[in-house]
Amino acid sequence: MKILLFARRNTKEILRDPTNLFFGLGFPLVLLFLLSVINSAIPAEANNTMFSIENTAPGIATFGTAFFALFSGMLLAKDRTTTFLMRLFASPMTAKDFIFGYTLPLLVMAAVQGVITFLAAAILGLPLSVNTLLAVLVVLPIAVLFVGLGLLFGSFLDDKAVGGICGALLTNIAGWFSGTWIPLDLIGGVFKQTAEVLPFYHSVEAAKEAIRGNFTEIMPHIAVVLGYAVVFYAMAVFAFYQKMKSDKG
Amino acid sequence: MSAITITNLTKKYGALKAVDNMNLTIDKGELFALLGLNGAGKTTTIKMLTCLIQPTDGDAVLLGDSIKGNPNAVKQKTNVSPQETAVAPNLTVLENLEFIAGIYGQNVEISRASAKEMSSQFGLDDVLSKKAKTLSGGMQRRLSVAMALISNPQILFLDEPTLGLDVLARRELRASIKQLKNKVTIILTTHYLEEAEELSDRIGVMTKGRLTAVGTAAELINQTGTANLEDAFITLSGGEL
């Protein structure tokens, strides 16, 4: 009951901010359409599928979830710095209520964002099938990672610092190392090796394999993402517990 | 009958004693003002009594429940209006009130009724559908206090509730607090001495973590041989007149 009440409050706080709506929904769609325009400008004889909708849609769906780090981090940081969280810490709410209350609405929003992104991709030519639904589910672990990172930073930093780290730094890292903007093979070297160690590229590849229907190829990629998600979400939970126990609110 | 019994309550941060061996009893329905200079230990005391932080030593029993032994029971019968305005900015006034009522266990119907009652009591009827962030500072502070009262707490902590408000807003909020006297046990911290004198039954003065004096305004003035509460407070805080 308390989890749902808190989740509903957090949903309203996020969705009633027009900036969040733009970055959460509008910006990924704009990027999808822009890449589609670029793709249509590439001559067919070039045989370049870099920006084909089958490649860009999974990339944009993954990249779009990066903004959920910004949403969760900003919300928590603002709740802390305005002492709203102190009021709630003094109430009968438990740590479980807080953690799930912050996380659940963002995961639902991530799923909705994924559905809308793939539907928009369908308008641009992506064939829809059960595999598309699987791709939406495959993108969710990276959303857990981003929400966890947001909660981790939001537990210690103020909203301006969270905005800088999650809004500028993290989204750029996630974008460039996902291989969405430029295929990793085109750059190669240390850049490619780094990208393969990080989870962003693997999330995109897992979604691509889901769309292609190569189900056995999904797990190796998603395992990497899940590993990162578990570690960073656990760190976020630990940080939040520590914050609850401290006197800083 | 006592509502709060504080025994040897202490909070240390390394070598610093933020609250040092506090002993105090507050009666049911009493409005107790806690005064002190910045850093005297008022907010730390409130944080311990609202179970936000654990004491290093000592304990406090609130209406039969220990803050160390049974913090969940304490949280059910207390509420706090923090030093800063603590409202959800993108929620409407009604949603803010209903949300707090809900997390204290009120169902939807009771939450709605409580919200209406609080909005009426605090003059928020005309702004119920407005987002909290669009309200003036005074109205936000009123909402913050109403949110602290909506759970029907038996003990209410008001941490500098009128800080930063203009004269009119401060007067209106004081009038609202006055209405609560004898109905709810209130611990109020404030830097406004006239506010403490006007509202409180008794006043406690904290200096460097220690509760150095407790009494009515008249008793503190007599005790220090001063002309008014401000002079008494300065004397008790270690200042020079």
- Tell me the pLDDT tens digit for each residue of B30-66: 999 999 999 899 999 999 999 999 999 999 999 999 9
Q: What are the pLDDT digits (tens) for B59-102?
A: 999 999 999 999 999 999 999 998 888 999 999 999 999 999 99
Q: What are the pLDDT digits (tens) for A109-132?
A: 999 999 999 999 999 999 999 999
Q: Which residues of A touch B (CB under 8 A)?
A: 1-2, 5-6, 9, 12-13, 16-17, 78, 82-84, 86-93, 97, 245-247, 249
> What average pLDDT score do residues A31-35 get?
92
Say yes or no: B147 contacts chain A, CB-CB below 8 A: yes
Distance from CA of B47 to the nearest CA of A (A): 8
What pLDDT was estimated at residue A249?
Answer: 42
Percentage, residues of chain A above pLDDT 70: 99
CA-nearest residue to A16 within chain B is: B90
CA-nearest residue to A3 within chain B is: B103
What pLDDT was estimated at residue A248?
Answer: 44
What pLDDT was estimated at residue A69?
Answer: 95
| Cross-chain residue pair B86–A6, CB shorter than 8 Å | no
pLDDT band for position A26 (cuts 50, 70, 90): confident
Find chain B residues with C-beta within 8 A of A17's C-beta: 90
Find chain A residues with C-beta within 8 A of B85's C-beta: 82-83
Find chain A residues with C-beta within 8 A of B102's C-beta: 1-2, 5
B164: phi > 0 → left, psi -120 to 50 → alpha, else beta; which? left
Round the average pLDDT of chain B to a whole number and report it: 93
| Cross-chain residue pair B147–A247, CB shorter than 8 Å | no
What pLDDT was estimated at residue B184?
Answer: 94
- Residue B115: count of CB within 10 angstroms of its CB: 26
Of B50, B85, B90, the CB nearest to A90: B50
Distance (Å, whole) CA B52 – CA A54: 51
Distance from CA of B142 to the nearest CA of A (A): 15
Round the average pLDDT of chain A to a whole number and report it: 91
pLDDT band for position A29 (cuts 50, 70, 90): very high
| Cross-chain residue pair A90–B103, CB shorter than 8 Å | no
Of A17, A84, A92, the CB nearest to B86: A84
Tokens of B143: 């909402």
Interface test with A, best of B47, B90, B134, B187 (most A CBs within 10 A): B90
Residue B219's contacts (CB-CB under 8 Å, 6 or more residues apart) are: none
Distance (Å, whole) CA B214 – CA B212: 7
Tokens of A128: 């829809």
What pLDDT was estimated at residue B104?
Answer: 95
Scanning chain A, the segments in alpha helix (DSSP H) are: 2-15, 18-21, 27-41, 53-65, 67-81, 84-89, 95-123, 130-154, 159-162, 171-176, 184-187, 189-197, 199-212, 218-245
Q: What is the dihedral of CA A9, A115, A164, A76, to 10 degrees?
A: 20
> What average pLDDT score do residues A142-148 get?
96
pLDDT band for position A247 (cuts 50, 70, 90): low
Continuous segment of H or E residues that includes residue A156: none
Tokens of B171: 């007067």
- Between B137 and B49, where is the model more confident? B49
| Cross-chain residue pair B44–A82, CB shorter than 8 Å | no
pLDDT at B153 over 50: yes
What pLDDT was estimated at residue A181?
Answer: 84
> What average pLDDT score do residues A232-240 get?
95
> What average pLDDT score do residues B133-142 get?
91
| Cross-chain residue pair B85–A17, CB shorter than 8 Å | no
Task: Tally the residues of chain B.
Answer: 241
Distance from CA of A74 to the nearest CA of B (A): 13
Distance (Å, whole) CA A67 – CA B47: 34
At B206, is the secondary structure helix, strand, or coil? strand
What pLDDT was estimated at residue B137?
Answer: 87
Task: Give the pTM.
Answer: 0.89
pLDDT at A134 over 50: yes
CA-nearest residue to B55 within chain A is: A247
Q: How far apart are the first and last CA of chain B?
A: 38
What pLDDT was estimated at residue A51?
Answer: 83
Is the CB of residue B212 less than 8 Å from the CB of residue B236? Answer: yes
Of A9, A82, A83, the CB nearest to B99: A9
Scanning A90-164, the segments in alpha helix (DSSP H) are: 95-123, 130-154, 159-162
- Residue B104: count of CB within 10 angstroms of its CB: 21
Is the CB of residue A115 less than 8 Å from the CB of residue A136? Answer: yes
What pLDDT was estimated at residue B241?
Answer: 66
- Between B9 and A183, where is the model more confident? B9
Distance from CA of A87 to the nearest CA of B (A): 6
What pLDDT was estimated at residue A33?
Answer: 92
Q: What are the pLDDT digits (tens) for A225-235?
A: 999 999 999 99
Of B80, B86, B131, the CB nearest to A82: B86
Cα R_g (chain B), whole angstroms: 18
Distance from CA of B78 to the nearest CA of A (A): 8
